[in-house]
Structure 1
Amino acid sequence: MATLKAFTFITLNGFYKNTDNDISWHQHGKEEAKYSEENLKSENILLLGRHTYQMMESFWTSQMAYDNFPEVAIGMNNSKKVVVSSSLEKVNWKNTSLLKGNLIDEIKELKKTSKHNITILGSGSLVTQLTNVGLIDSYEIMLDPIAIGQGTSIFDGVSGTLHLKLIACKKLKSGTGILTYTKL
C-alpha cells in the first residue's frame, strides 16, 4: 500500500500563502532546489489541487524554471501528476491526469493500488480534506525563516486535534528547516 505525504513550505508564523494567495516569499535557493531534486527521484505521484496545479504548470514549464532550476524543472515535468478538480475539464501538463470523482474514495483506491507513494504539494484545501479523514500518513514542512503579516495556515479547517510526532529535522544553511511528522 502506498503512503500519502503532504509537503508544504510555510512561514515562521505558520502560513503557506498570504491573503492574496501569493507564495513569492518562499526561499527557493540552491539547497532547497537540491532537496527538491532528490525528492523528485523517488518517483512519487504528485497530488495537486487545481490552484496549485495551475500555478505549478505555469512556472515549471517556463524557460525561467529551466534556466534557474533545470533539474527540478525536468523532474517536475517528468513526474506523474494527479490533479483534483471539479471545475477543470482537461489538463495539458505532461504526465498529468484529472481526478474528478469522489476525492476520498479515489485517494483510498490510489493508495491501495499504486506502486509509488504519493506526495501532496501545497494544496491546502486538499490537505485539510484528507487530514480530516485520516488519509495523510506524514507531513513534511519546509519552514522558511520569514514571517508575513497575514495568511492561511496549512491546517486551516482541520477539525479536531491533530497529534503528530516529529521523526526528522534537517537544517539548511539558508536557515530553512525541514520538519517531518507522522501521526501518533
Structure 2
Amino acid sequence: MGKLNVFNFISLDGYYKDASNGINWHQHGQEEGEFSAKNLEYGSILLFGRITYEMMASWWPSQNAIDAMPEVARGMNQAEKIVCTNTLQYTNWQNTRIMNGDIVAQIAELKKTSPKDIAILGSGNLSTQLAEAGLINTYQIMIDPVGIGKGTPIFNGMQRQLNLKLTDTRSFKSGTVLLSYEAL
C-alpha cells in the first residue's frame, strides 16, 4: 500500500505561485537540488495536475535542465508519472500516463494497490482536492525567504480544516526552511 505525499514550496507570505502563475521567485540552489535528487531516488510515482505537468514537461526533458541539474533531470525524466486531467489527450514526456474522470476514487484505489509511494509535486488544485478527501499522508512544505505580495495560496479554496503534526524540520543555507508534516 502506497502513501500519498505532497511536496510544495511557498513564499514566506503563503503563496505557491505568484499573481502571474509563475514560480521564478523560488530559490532552488545546489543544496536544494541535492535534496531533490535524493528524494527522486526513492522511486515514487510522481503525480501532477495539468498545469504543473505542462510546466514540468516543458523544462525537465530540455537540454537546459539536463545541463543545470543533471541528477534531478535524470530522476524526473525516468520516474513514472501520472497527470490528472480532463483536458489533455496525450502526453509527450516519457513514462507519463493520463488519469481522468473521478480522480479522488482513482487515487484512493492507486494508494491501495501500489507498492510505491506517490508524490504530488506542486499541483495546488490537485493537492487541495486530495487533502479535502483525506487521502494525503504527509506534507513537505519548503518555505522560501521571500514575500511576493500577491499570488495563489497553498490549499486555495479548501473547505475543511487541515490538521497536521510537525514531524521534521530542515534549514538550507539559502534561508529556505523545509517543514515536514503528517496528516492527523
Shift of 1:113: 0.7
Q: Which amino acid aligns with 2:20?
A: D
Q: What amino acid sits opposite 1:137 in the alignment?
A: N
Aligned partners of 2:71, 2:162: CA distance in 1, in Å? 35
Q: Which position in structure 2 is the counterpart of 1:96?
A: 96
Partner of 2:157: 157
Offset of residue 101 of structure 1: 2.4
User: What's 1:44 paired with?
Assistant: 44
Distance, in Å, in 1 between the alignment partners of 2:74 and 2:154 is 27
Partner deviation per Cα, 1:98-120 (whole Å, 9 max, x = no partner): 00121011001110111100000
Counterpart position of 2:171: 171
TM-score by length of 1: 0.98
Q: 1:11: how far off?
A: 0.5
Match of residue 141 from structure 1: 141
Alpha-carbon distance in structure 2 between the residues aligned to 1:53 and 1:122: 9
Structure 2 counterpart of 1:75: 75
> Could you tell me how far apart the structure 2 residues matched to 1:128 and 1:81 are?
19
2:150, 2:174 → 1: CA distance? 23
Aligned counterpart, 1:5: 5
String of CA shifts for 1:17-52, please: whole Å, max 9, x gaps. Answer: 011100000011101100000000000000000000
Segments of 5+ residues of structure 2 without an aligned counterpart are none
The one-letter code sitting in structure 1 at the alignment partner of 2:164 is: L
Helix, strand or coil for the counterpart of 2:175? coil
**What amino acid does structure 1 have at the position aligned with 2:108?**
K
Paired with 2:183 and 2:74, the residues of 1 have a C-alpha distance of 32
In 2, Cα distance between the equivalents of 1:32 and 1:131? 25
Question: In the alignment, what sits opposite 1:29?
Answer: 29
Q: Quote the sequence identity (%).
A: 51
The residue matched to 1:180 in structure 2 has which SS? strand
Structure 2 equivalent of residue 106 of structure 1: 106
Deviation beyond 2 Å, 4+ runs, structure 1:
none
User: TM-score, length-normalised on structure 2?
Assistant: 0.98
- CA displacement at 1:161 relative to structure 2: 1.2
State the SS of the aligned residue for 1:10. strand
Deviation (angstroms), 1:141: 0.5
Q: CA RMSD, aligned part only?
A: 0.7
